[in-house]
Amino acid sequence: MANEMSTVERQVPRTTDSSEPTRARPVFVPRTDIYETRDAIVLLVEMPGVAPDAVDITLEKRVLTIHGHSVDPEHGAYRQIHAEYGAGDYERIFTLSEDIDRERIEAAQQAGVLRLVLPKAEPVKARKIQVRPA
């Protein structure tokens, strides 16, 4: 029962578009769960240490960018003696395949997890074309 869960931390590959962030700070790819229901796509993005007001979400055309900015914790006179996770920012970009109703997107960040609900746009009504006999 112990340690059923494990974590792997991954860093953003810097070679995707040959650009670099200006700040020399690690950027992590947050672990994400994505599921689809009948009328929405729901994303659960794991960003520990990120406050709700430090999350930036942009949707441009079909490209969804999630950025979480974390603040280095103050430890005063404390000295770090063991480290398994690092402080840094989080960034992840998704390409959406379905049309999203931009007006009704909901986002909530709680306990380091961002929940993003992307409602699907009303499907265009299928038109039936009747063929008349000539």
Partner 1 sequence: MQPFEFGRFGFDPFLEMRRLQSEMNRLFSGVGTAGVQQFPPINLWLGENSVVVTAALPGVSPDTVDLTVHENTLTLQGRREPKAEDADATWHRRERSYGSFSRTVQLPIHADPDQVQARFINGVLEIELKRPEADRPKKIRISAA
Task: Summarize as ranges the residues that interact with partner 1 (CB under 8 A).
Answer: 1-9, 24, 26, 31-38, 41-42, 44, 46-52, 72-86, 111-113
Q: How far apart are CA 92 and CA 56, in angstroms?
A: 11
Taking the complex as a whole, the smallest distance from the CB of residue 55 to partner 1 amounts, in Å, to: 10
Taking the complex as a whole, the smallest distance from the CB of residue 34 to partner 1 amounts, in Å, to: 4
| Smaller CB separation from partner 1, 34 or 58 | 34
Taking CA atoms, 84 is separated from 7, 8, 28, 52, 81, in Å, by: 10, 10, 14, 24, 10
| Smaller CB separation from partner 1, 86 or 101 | 86
Taking the complex as a whole, the smallest distance from the CB of residue 70 to partner 1 amounts, in Å, to: 8
Q: How far apart are CA 65 and CA 18, in angstroms?
A: 17
| Smaller CB separation from partner 1, 4 or 132 | 4
Letter string b/e over residues 113-123, b meaning 16 or more CB atoms within 10 A of that residue's CB? bbebebbbeee
